[in-house]
Structure 1
Amino acid sequence: MTTKVLIPDSIDLDLPDDDRWQFITTKTDEPIPEEHLDAEVYVQWMQPQNLVEDAAKRLTDVKLVQTFMAGVDAVKKAGFSDDVILTNGVHLHDATVSEHTIALTLYLLRRLDESVRQQEKKNWSRELGEGQPLHPEDRVTTLIGANVLVWGFGQISQHLAPIMKALGANVTGVASTAGERAGFPVIATEDVHDHLADTDVLISVLPANDSTKDLLNADVFAALPKRAVVVNVGRGHALNENDLLRALESGEIVGAAIDVTKQMPLPAESPLWDAPNLLITPHAAGGRPVGAEDRLLANLEALDGNGDFVGKR
């Protein structure tokens, strides 16, 4: 028996020619055609939420939903039956989000925005180069010796931390419980304020749930030293944007970079666009799941009884 697998055209997968599976490409921004409502596998990647919900209602034979997102929030909200197996894209974004986080952090620390402005003026700025101190008193300009606090120490953060360490940073994680993960010290969320005064770089990789709403707020920014920078590559849900705006405008922190916002796309009228010393990237940290083919094939095999599901939620 052949299993029909629906794959959106938002992703290009190199899949084998196997009689067990019929791979059907569907339009990401259109409802599933009537002739494919007998599909047993639905791949979720970049479809609008209303179409995911439409799929949940109309795919009456679906057995497996494979999302390439790190979480399954959108799929769970869509309303698929409880007996449908949900598998996520855990680990598929570890490398790309880590890479983007490093880019954002170094952009802030190495003052690349200022270099761009000086280049536009055709000015060889001696204030930015040639004989600068490694650790000036009022600014962090390198990851060498920097205290980096990573809030939300899951799989992505555990991939990121060794890279930060290799660049010279002292990395500490923050999670719901204290201990050690992947060889790095981890403090409990309830103790985070005790560590903020010594933090040079605060990175949020927090998920969106009831306990993380606006965790990055005025109290946090006030507790950081003025030399600190803040980077958010987790969820916009965790950041109080008004508090960040005030912290940047007042000079309470030296700079920030965000890859996510509460409302995406960020509206043109948002004051964040004009915030001083703020870099905004358009949810670009992930978006390129590495190993998506292998994940889907492994879970198709599991559906056939061959092995365990990967990323089952």
Structure 2
Amino acid sequence: MSRKPIVAVLHAQVLPRNDLMAPVDSRAEVRYTDEAGLARALDGADVLFLYDFLSGAVPAAWHAADSLQWLHIAAAGVDPVMFPEARDSDVTITNSRGVFDGAIAEYVLAQILSFAKDLPGSLRLQQSHTWKHRESERIAGRTALIVGTGPIGRAVARLLRAAGMTVRGSGRRGRESDPDFGVVLPADDLPAQLADADYVVAVAPLTEQTRHMFCAETFAAMKPGARFVNVGRGELVRTDDLVEALRSGTIAGAALDVFDSEPLPADHPLWDMPNVSITPHNSGDFAGWRDALVTVFTDNFERWVAGHPLENVVDKQLGYVPSR
């Protein structure tokens, strides 16, 4: 490329740090923009860095992407950019796979321990100044089914195994002797896999095949004492069915970091359920995560400028980065 490449960076209130963007700023014309200016910034741009990974503005501005070669999203999930025009284009899409794996695994373990030791119940007793002896559950020997066998699912599996839990995976293809999951069962048999799981952890990407995979049928297939942890996507769950399963005692509890409507409406029944833990889509947001996302992009930018293969290339038909 004889001219400087043009890189559009879509941001919200927070800009990437200047020092971290220096490798890009020194080699490219960088256009920082909010949603309102995205179409103008895309005109003639070679690269789009979707730093505002929650934005839904890309489809409406896509008509202006007349020179775009590469789109990078600062997230593990790529569903915001899997609209038909992008999927059918020649634009390479990459994601930020690997940044959140360890933090999300720690979150899942924390939620499982919170259920087993009833930490919310202890806090309620403390707040009422009540001294009440109780017994707790062990997690060692309990079974976790991890639905989604990508890098985040693998990090969760390794940590739960280290804590003494029996772990299985549920993925697109079944296989034996997996180094992290032991056994991976085919997702087509998900209802049959749920009956033995004490904890069901959803980390699957959002695709047309996984949307609403957790519904009345799958919750009914779980054991009554099972707990459900969702750190994947809110749209993996039919939320009304989850509420009914919790109310009826079909399952014993849920820890939810993602929702099909975010922020979760203030009047939503999930807020007031004593067997539900809610966090605001921050299970992977460790101190320094925003900077780590910029570094993933700038490292890939160095490869792109040098003509080397990009990391974390999304298979646009599958809707995620295939496992190595």
| TM-score after normalising by structure 1 | 0.85
Matches within 5 A, 1:239-258: 239-258=237-256
Which segment is superposed worse, 258-267 or 1-10? Answer: 1-10
Pick from 175, 182, 189 the counterpart of residue 179 of structure 1: 175
Aligned residue number for residue 16 of structure 2: 12
Pick from 109, 114, 117 the counterpart of residue 110 of structure 1: 117
Determine if contact 2:74/2:294 at 8 Å carries over to the other structure: no
Aligned residue number for residue 51 of structure 1: 57
Identity, % of aligned positions: 29
Cα deviation, residue 289, structure 1: 5.7
Determine if contact 2:158/2:180 at 8 Å carries over to the other structure: no
Determine if contact 1:8/1:25 at 8 Å carries over to the other structure: yes
- 3-state SS of the aligned residue for 2:6? strand
CA distance in 1, matches of 2:166, 2:82: 37
Instruction: Point out 4+ residue stretches in structure 1 off by more than 4 angstroms.
Output: 33-36, 47-50
Determine if contact 2:42/2:64 at 8 Å carries over to the other structure: no
Determine if contact 1:249/1:276 at 8 Å carries over to the other structure: no
Aligned residue number for residue 317 of structure 2: none
1:292 aligns with 2:296: no
- 3-state SS of the aligned residue for 1:103? helix
CA distance in 1, matches of 2:280, 2:223: 27
For 1:7, give the aligned amino acid: V
- 3-state SS of the aligned residue for 1:16? helix
1:30 aligns with 2:36: yes
CA RMSD of aligned residues (A): 2.6
Cα deviation, residue 186, structure 1: 0.8
Cα deviation, residue 48, structure 1: 5.9
CA distance in 1, matches of 2:179, 2:228: 23
Which segment is superposed worse, 35-44 or 242-251? Answer: 35-44
Cα deviation, residue 25, structure 1: 3.3
Alpha carbons of structure 1 residues 11 and 254: separation in structure 2 relative to 1, 3 Å? farther
Structure (1/2) with the larger helix percentage: 2
For 2:95, give the aligned amino acid: N
Aligned residue number for residue 200 of structure 2: 202
Q: How big is each residue's C-alpha offset from its partner over 1:239-270, in whole Å with a ceiling of 9 and x where there is no partner?
A: 12222212211222221111112222222232
Aligned residue number for residue 60 of structure 1: 66
Alpha carbons of structure 1 residues 168 and 5: separation in structure 2 relative to 1, 3 Å? same
Cα deviation, residue 114, structure 1: 0.6
Cα deviation, residue 51, structure 1: 2.5
Q: How big is each residue's C-alpha offset from its partner over 1:250-309, in whole Å with a ceiling of 9 and x where there is no partner?
A: 222221111112222222232222234111212112353674234222332333243211
CA distance in 2, matches of 1:91, 1:35: 28
- 3-state SS of the aligned residue for 2:185? strand
Structure 1: 5+ residue stretches without partners: 134-140
Pick from 185, 188, 203 the counterpart of residue 186 of structure 2: 188
How many residues matched? 301
Cα deviation, residue 188, structure 1: 1.5
For 1:12, give the aligned amino acid: P
Cα deviation, residue 169, structure 1: 0.8
Aligned residue number for residue 87 of structure 1: 94
